[in-house]
Amino acid sequence: MNQITEDFEPQIVAFCCRYCAYAAADLAGSSRIQYPPNVKIVLLPCSGKVDELYLLKAFEAGADGVYVAGCLEGTCHFLTGNLRAKKRVQYVKSLLDEVGIGGERLEMYNLSSAEGQRFAEIAREMTERIRALGPSPLN
């Protein structure tokens, strides 16, 4: 390993729905569950409001990894918002593969508001995944 990858701390953006994922992040914080500080949370009214451009702009702005976190499938407060988000994430993953950034830098997760521990696990999982991949080719 070279010095650059040894010292590399990935910047990760997490687009979180208000009702489940953001509430889970809040629960993780109030329960003092540790997760990497390099995960920056963007609050959305619903994961279905995430647009392909938001995901691409996050990479353009310097993110090494991005994830969308929404309600559990079948329990979206806006009925199918998380299913729309899942389709958008899959589409952008294919775009990232095509342009050489790598679709594995983007992921979709589903969790409930009571899963603060799971939110922290996801943050750690994404951090380790992106750390192994190295810096984004855009950076």
**Which range has the worst mean pLDDT, 2-6, 11-15, 96-100?**
2-6
- Kindly state whether residue 5 falls inside one of the protein's structural domains: no
Q: How many CA atoms lie within 13 Å of 10's alpha carbon, on the beta-carbon side?
A: 30
Contacts with 48 (C-beta within 8 Å, 6 or more apart), sequence order: 70, 76, 78, 80, 81, 82, 83, 84, 85
Structural domain containing residue 73: 12-132
Query: What is the Cα–Cα distance from 29 to 82, expressed in whole angstroms?
Result: 23
- Kindly state whether residue 139 falls inside one of the protein's structural domains: no
Question: What CATH number corresponds to the domain at position 61?
Answer: 3.40.50.960
Phi/psi of residue 36, each to 5°?
-55, 135
- Kindly state whether residue 6 falls inside one of the protein's structural domains: no
- Kindly state whether residue 105 falls inside one of the protein's structural domains: yes
- Kindly state whether residue 2 falls inside one of the protein's structural domains: no
pLDDT at 6: 64
- pLDDT at residue 89 tops 70: yes
Give the count of domains, the chain. 1
Q: Which two tokens stand for residue 4?
A: 């650059």
pLDDT at 3: 44
Q: Which residues of 12-25 are buried (b: 16+ CB within 10 A; e: fewer)?
A: bbbbbbbbbbbbbb
Residue scoring higher pLDDT (3 or 103): 103
Q: Which two tokens stand for residue 99?
A: 């342009």
Query: What is the Cα–Cα distance from 125 to 110, expressed in whole angstroms?
Result: 14
- Kindly state whether residue 118 falls inside one of the protein's structural domains: yes
- Kindly state whether residue 114 falls inside one of the protein's structural domains: yes
- Summarised one tens digit per residue, pLDDT across range 8-26 is 999 999 999 999 999 999 9
| Nearest residue to 93 (alpha-carbon basis) of 61, 66, 125 | 66
- Kindly state whether residue 107 falls inside one of the protein's structural domains: yes
Block residue for tokens 């993110």 = 63
